[in-house]
Amino acid sequence: MKNLLRFLGLIILIFICTCAGKKINLRLNLKQGMTYKYRFTTEQKISQTVQNQKLDMDQIIIMEYTYEVKEVDDAGNAVVEITYDRIDYMQDGPMGKIEYKSWEDQDEKPLITKGFAVLIGQNYTIKMTSQGRILEISGTDKIIDDMLKNFDLPADNEMIEQTRRNLKNQFGDEAMKEVMDKTFAFYPDKPVGIGDSWSAKFNLTRGFPMTLINAWKLKSIKNGKAHIDLYTKIKPNTKTSLMQIGDMKMSYVLSGEQKGYIIVDTLTGWVIESTTEQSFEGKVNIAGGMFGEGQEMGWPISITGTVTIETLEN
């Protein structure tokens, strides 16, 4: 009996060690014709103190997309078309409450939401590797042109071109490449097992410029789903172009952290859901404009928020 118990204990130990040591190759394994629907929700609280006046703003942006795999080459690189399906925007701050829902008719759309209004049904295309890195993006120029038409800008070529530059800075090919890299380029460069960690660094130059130092850890694999923990150290990225607003130039210096998780389908490598909690703070700098040439002004800013991704039923 003792020998039998020892034998069973040995078998169990071998089984545990084998399972614990099993490694998987987390990669995108997409096929032509695959279609996914996603909802991205960004909730942020932005606090600023300008000339001793506290300015707080709550913001919620909900965007729903369809991702359709158009083709996949022999190297596993996939061409994916992304279409805007639905947008819900809410801002509550010093300017009052502003709301926009793409599925509701609004006679007068607030200026800040006019860019959103033209997005529904629009699409652009990305080409990505099996490791989630973005090789190229196309189709954003048409979207930006449609945004400009919807803004009803005065016939001032200089103002139109400046607005175009700012829109390209936020929504152009390179800007969207940064967004997509940040979203998908978390796949490790080698097989990983439970408890394994890997890391990568990304420089964001648009929106809120910052450097993201990411660390991921494979927490579990269950029922065909890989649960990955995420932690990011956020540092300032000062090597970026300034945002031009009229005669003023604006820049941000931000640092902080974010943490969360990603759940991935181990068969396709596609993200099923994720949640990221953000917290960063720093300073806003503005030069020129009303302050005069060569003059600048700065004030503190802090941002906390949550970004969630969820898969919707097709």
Residue 307: give its domain's CATH number.
2.30.230
Encode pLDDT of 255-313 as tens digits: 999 999 999 999 999 999 999 999 999 998 888 765 556 677 889 999 999 999 999 98
pLDDT higher than threshold 70 for residue 21: no
Mean pLDDT, residues 223-246: 83
CA–CA distance, 266 with 197 (Å, rounded to integer): 17
Flag whether 119 is in a domain: yes
Extended strands (E) in 165-224: 192-193, 197-204, 210-222
Q: Is residue 4 part of a domain?
A: no
Instruction: Give the E-state strand segments of the chain in sequence order.
Output: 23-24, 35-50, 53-72, 78-93, 96-101, 123-128, 134-138, 192-193, 197-204, 210-222, 225-236, 243-245, 248-265, 271-288, 296-312
pLDDT digits (tens, 9 = 90+) for 147-159: 877 776 666 677 6
Residue 246: pLDDT band by 50, 70, 90 thresholds? Answer: low
pLDDT (average), residues 105-115: 71
Choice between 206 and 64, residue whose per-residue pLDDT is larger = 64
303/271 Cα distance (integer angstroms): 26
State mean pLDDT over 230-240. Answer: 87
**Of 59-63, 65-69, 136-140, the least confident:** 136-140
Residue 16 lies in a domain: no
Residue 246 · residue 218 · CB < 8 Å: no
- Lowest mean pLDDT, pick from 87-96, 107-116, 241-250: 241-250
Residue 72 confidence class, pLDDT cut points 50, 70, 90: very high
Q: What is the chain's mean pLDDT, rounded? A: 85
Q: What domain range is 289 assigned to?
A: 25-312
Tell me whether residue 82 is in a domain: yes
Residue % of the chain over a pLDDT of 70 = 84
Q: Residue 6 falls within a domain, yes or no?
A: no
- 291 falls within a domain: yes
- The predicted structure's pLDDT at residue 13: 43
Phi and psi angles of residue 19, each rounded to the nearest 5 degrees, phi first: -65, -45
The segment with the largest mean pLDDT, out of 102-111, 227-236, 291-300, is 227-236
Q: Give the three-state DSSP class for 305.
A: strand
pLDDT given for residue 5 in this prediction: 47
Q: Count of domains in the chain?
A: 1
pLDDT of residue 290: 59
Strands 96-101, 123-128: pairing kind: unpaired
Q: Are 169 and 115 in contact (CB under 8 A)?
A: no
Predicted pLDDT of residue 16: 44
User: Is there a contact between 143 and 176 (Cβ–Cβ < 8 Å)?
Assistant: no
The share of the chain scoring above pLDDT 90, in percent, equals 52
Structure token pair of residue 113: 């939401």
Confidence of residue 185 (pLDDT cuts 50, 70, 90): confident
